[in-house]
Amino acid sequence: AQSVAQPEDQVNVAEGNPLTVKCTYSVSGNPYLFWYVQYPNRGLQFLLKYITGDNLVKGSYGFEAEFNKSQTSFHLKKPSALVSDSALYFCAVREDPGGSYIPTFGRGTSLIVHP
């Protein structure tokens, strides 16, 4: 069975500082990992994904994520936060091989970037 956890309901960071939004996962096989962002009154937008290969994945809007197999983590990062990055962030996992057709989403982390 697959599962994903986002241990922080909310992350606060000052504009210009680096940000990290945490995600840990559990799968029996290999994971496909995703980050999505939800701005107020909008649907989720895909940010980036890890399939295989380089552990550092780069995505949209300057975000990146680091896959750590030993710690079963896939934390989202950005070197310098913007106020416009304030949104709800979701981590999701799918299992490979023979993975579920149903991706599992975390509960979401609210990122607040203060001016």
What are the residues binding another protein (CB under 8 A)? 32, 34, 36, 41-46, 49, 51, 90, 94, 96, 99, 101-103, 105-108
**Cβ atoms of residues 8 and 22 within 8 Å:** yes
Per the structure block, which two tokens stand in for 30? Answer: 């290999």
Nearest distance in Å: CB 15, another protein: 27
Please, which residue, 15 or 38, has the CB nearer to another protein?
A: 38
Please, which residue, 13 or 108, has the CB nearer to another protein?
A: 108
Nearest distance in Å: CB 16, another protein: 29
**Cβ atoms of residues 80 and 14 within 8 Å:** no
Please, which residue, 55 or 80, has the CB nearer to another protein?
A: 55
Q: How far apart are CA 107 and CA 50, in angstroms?
A: 19
Secondary structure of residue 54 in the 3-state scheme: coil
Q: How far apart are CA 98 and CA 8, in angstroms?
A: 30
Please, which residue, 73 or 103, has the CB nearer to another protein?
A: 103
Nearest distance in Å: CB 115, another protein: 26
Q: How far apart are CA 110 and CA 88, in angstroms?
A: 4
Nearest distance in Å: CB 20, another protein: 19
